[in-house]
Structure 1
C-alpha cells in the first residue's frame, strides 16, 4: 500500500492526484507545472492517463513532485477502484517515489453532489491514510471554466458550498474545498497550502484562498 509521510528530502513535496475519469487531474498537472501533459478535452472514460506520470515544478522555494494517476471509473465497484489504487502504489515504487506528502482529490463542479463512488474512494483513502493525514488531503472542484460565468453565483457557488458540507463529514480535519478554474492562477492556492503544511504556516481554509481569484 501507499506510504504517506513527510518527504525523504526536506525541499520536496510529493502530491498524488486522484479522482474519477474526466475530473481534471491532468489539466491541473499541466497548469501547475507548465509541462506537456496529455489532456483529454472531452473528459470521457477514454482519458489519456493510463499509468502514473511524474511532473516537477519549483514553487515557494520547494520542489513539488506531482504524480498524475489513472482515473477511477464511476461504474467501478469498490474492489475495482481499490485495484486502481494498488496499481498506483505499484507504479509509484517503479517511479522510485513511494513516499507521498499529500493527496489532491478532484471532483467536477458539473456534478451537484458526490457520487457513491466518490464517497467509497474517500473512505478507501481514509483507511489507507488514517485520520491524522486528513489535513494533507485537499479536495478540489474543477471544470468551472466549462460553465458560463453568469451561472457561477446562482448555481455553482451554492453547489460548491453543499459539497463543502459533504467534504466536512468525510474529511473533517482537511482543508476547505479549493476551486481550480484553469486560469493560470488558482492552482497556486493548492500548492501554497501544501507548502504551508511543510513550513507549519498552512491555514485550514482552502476556499478562502480560492476566492481571491474572484470565485465568489
Structure 2
C-alpha cells in the first residue's frame, strides 16, 4: 500500500464529516486528547461486538476475499456520554486469522502503534478479549496469550484489561469456575503485575462501563507512555525470532510425521520447501541480532539450527 498510514479500511470518514455520535476514522483524525483503546484477541472472541456495544457503530468485517478489510486496523471514534470525552476504539484483526499469520498481525498492530506514537498519541488501555465459553486453554489460545504478553511488555500491564466475553452463552456457575481458573492460573502473573480482569455481559451497559472505567483511570494517571514498552524495536525483533523458530519446530514435526506415514513425495517436498524458506528468515534475523548483542535465545538457535557449530 502506498499510503504513509496503516490501512484503516475502505470507508473512513473525513474529519470535517465526523459525527458527534460515532464514525470510522483514520489515524490523522484522532486528536491528542482522545482516549485511545486497543481491542485485541483471538478470532471470534467478540471484538467487533464489543466495539458495536460500546460505540453504537456496527463494523462488519467481511471475509470473502483475501483483500477484504477483515485484515485491517479499524478505528471507531465516539463520545463517552458519562465523561464527555472522545474515545477511539482500535479494532484489530484476530490472532489465527485465515489469511494472515500471528506475526503479520503483530507487525500490523505494532506499525499502527508506532504511527500513533509519532503523532503524539498515547494508548489509554488495551482490552484483551477471551471467550468464557472456552472450556480449556488449548495450545492456540495459550500461544495467543504469549504473543499478547510479549506485545505489551511487563511495564504496560497496568493498562491491560483482561476482558471475558459471551457470558450469556454459559451458565453462571460454570462461568465463575472458569474465570477463577483464568485468574489463578493463566492470567495470574499478569494480574499480579497490574492487569485488571473485567467482564462484558454482551450488553451495552457492561461494555460502556468498561470504557468509563478506562476513561476514569486514565484521568488519574495522565502522562504515562504505554507505547514505549509496546513498540520497543529490540523486543519486537525478539518476538519475531521466537515465532519463526516455533514455526520451524512445527514444520519439523509435520515432516517427521509425513515420513513415518510414507506420505506422497510431493507433500514432503512442499513441507521441506516451507522449512527451508523459514530457515532463511531465521538466519537473516540471527545475522541482524549478532550485530547488536548475544543472548541465551541466540545460543539456543545456533545449536538448534546448526548443531552447535
Give the alignment's TM-score, normalised by structure 2.
Answer: 0.51
Deviations 1:39-68 (A, max 9, x none): 68xxxxxx9832111101222232110011
Measure, in 1, the Cα distance between the counterparts of 2:111 and 2:153: 20
Superposition pairs of residues 77-156 of structure 1, within 5 angstroms: 80-91=101-112, 99-147=122-170, 151-152=171-172, 154-156=173-175
Measure how far apart 1:94 and its partner are. Answer: 7.1
Question: Please, what is the CA RMSD of the aligned residues?
Answer: 3.1
Q: For structure 1, which runs of at least 5 residues remain unmatched after alignment?
A: 1-6, 41-46, 202-216
* 4+ residue segments displaced more than 6 Å: 93-98
Q: Which has the higher helix share?
A: 2
1:15 matches 2:37: yes
Superposition pairs of residues 1-216 of structure 1, within 5 angstroms: 9=32, 11-38=33-60, 49-59=70-80, 60-73=83-96, 80-91=101-112, 99-147=122-170, 151-152=171-172, 154-165=173-184, 166-200=186-220
Measure how far apart 1:100 and its partner are. Answer: 2.6
Q: For structure 2, which runs of at least 5 residues remain unmatched after alignment?
A: 1-29, 63-67, 222-309
Q: Which has the higher strand share?
A: 1
Q: Is the 8 A contact 1:17 1:69 kept in 2?
A: yes
Distance 1:158 1:48, change over 3 A: farther
Measure, in 1, the Cα distance between the counterparts of 2:69 and 2:102: 17
Measure how far apart 1:172 and its partner are. Answer: 2.3
